Every structure is written in structure tokens, then in C-alpha cells.
Amino acid sequence: MPESSIQQPSSGTACQRCERVLSAERPVRLPDNRVYCAACCESMAADIFEMETGEPFTRWIEKHPQLVMQYQPLELTVRRFGFMFPLAMLLLGAGIFGYGVYTSFRDAVPLPFLLAGLITPLVIGGLWLIYENFSDSLPKAARSALRIFAALLAMAVPVYGLYGCLKFGRPIGFMVVGAAIIAFFAVLALRGLQAYLRALNFKLVLKDGVFYLQHGSRTDTFPADEVVQACVVRPGTVGATEGALRLDDGRMLTLDTCLSDLHALGVVMDLRFRADFPPSADDIARIRRDNLRKIRGLS
């Protein structure tokens, strides 16, 4: 289609999805810089869109010439708390563990036994790092031996803790409780930190056919025409946590379901890529009947 017909919709403008000439209806311009008919837009917008926004998609999009996807303040607060609470519990566990070490020295727990309890978790963590980073370069037998040795050490830790509690009492008990708290909440704190950093200073804007991405100090722009594949999940979709946009150079941009305006972006991407769901004759007739009712004041 000529560029002039896209930039200046007229009575002869055609919908860029169903290619129907819009001679008797007002075309709908979307932030991807394309023009569609109302029937195409409403056929691709799910019913829950109007339930969530209170307006049909065509009316809502006219008030939003740009789509802004960013995390809401409440979501940032939840993610911040999801990191700060495990971190506080991690520090509490470190305090309990440190007090156990102090009482172990005070009560003259044998140094070899104490060092074995301190070094074993570090050895397990080192083996795990080696396996994660260098497993591809190791022979298959070495990888299997590494995993078996790490598993045996991990299974020996509870036995060590139980024996220490029965043999030396409270000092080892403090160490065991502190180590358990550290191990559990360290994983939660790490996941919470990753989720918080991912949401911090993230903003994706679609305006005039161009995506503007900001994530922390990083900024990037790419035309909407460079998006060759999209999987945009709707907020509240059961079992779904994120979608993705794939660019023509192979890059992928993942999107969380808690981003604002994500539902509208899904409709825009559906209009671009889901050509197997064109508006049916019933959809077009329904849109026309609704428009006639509004004109006659019957709505």
C-alpha cells in the first residue's frame, strides 16, 4: 500500500488486515502506525478487554495514541518486599549461625569437627559452580562423578548436623538452624533481587510505529515492522507469566504479564500476525448494527 494512504486516511483507505476499503466508516489508527477497520480491531480484542477497561478497544485506543508498558508502583513495592524480607531473614540466619560458631569455640568443640561443618557447604557450592560453568568442557564420566560427589556431601550435611546436636548440644544446634535459614532464604533473596532488578526503571513505549525501550541506563529503539513474531500473554492468563517479541535480527524481548497496556499491545500484535482469524461477516454486521443504533440514539 502506498505510504501516503497510510499517513493520510481518506475515504479510499483500506484496512491493512482485511484489505476492505473503508469508504463508509471511520478508520482506526493504532500506535503501530497502521490503519484498520473497527471490525478487525474488535474481532481481535477479547471480551475481557472491555470488562477490564470499561470501553471497547476502538474507543479506548483513540484515547491512547501511545502504549506505555511499565511496572505499576504497587508491583514495584511487592517485588521490593519480595527481596527485602528474605534478605532480613538471611541476616537473621547469619546472626544465629555466627552465635553458634562463637559458642562452639567457647565450649571447646573440636576444631576439625567445626571446620568440617564450615567447609562442607562451601565445597558443595564450589562444585555446583564448576558444574554450571564448565560442564560442557568436562568428560561425561567427570560430570557424573562431580554430581555424585556433590550429592553425597549434601546428604552428609544433615547427618553431620544431627550427630553434632546429639554430641555437643546447643552450639552445633545454633549452627544447624542458622545454616538452614541461610540456605533457604538465600535462594528466595536471589530470586527476589532478580525480579526487582528486572522491574526497576523498565519502560517500553510504542508510538508512531516505533518501540522505545528503557531499562535502567540502557535505552534502545526499534521500528514495529522489525517485530517478526509476538507472543503477548494477557494479564490474568492462567499459567502464563510472560510473553516475548522477536525481532528480525534474532533478538528477543520478554514481557511480564504485570506490565500496563500489555493487553492492548496483544491486540495490536494479533492484528499484525494472526491473519488466520479475520473478522467474519457476522462480526462486521454486528459492528454496523451497533454503529447504527448509536447514530439513532437507541444504544
Q: What is the pLDDT of residue 2?
A: 42
With vertex at residue 97, the alpha carbon angle to CA 132 and CA 186, rounded to the nearest 5 degrees, is: 35
The pLDDT, as a whole number, for residue 10 is 47
Query: What pTM, to 2 d.p., does this model score?
Result: 0.67
Mean pLDDT rounded to a whole number for the chain: 82
Of 162 and 191, more confident: 191
Pairing of strands 210-215, 218-223: antiparallel
Q: Is residue 204 predicted with pLDDT exceeding 90?
A: yes
> Which strands sit side by side in the sheet containing 227-231, from one edge to the other?
227-231, 242-247, 252-256
263-290 pLDDT tens trace: 899 889 888 888 777 677 777 777 777 7
Question: Which of 168, 32, 183, 163 lies closest to 122 in space, CA to CA?
Answer: 183
- Residue 257: pLDDT band with limits 50, 70, 90: confident
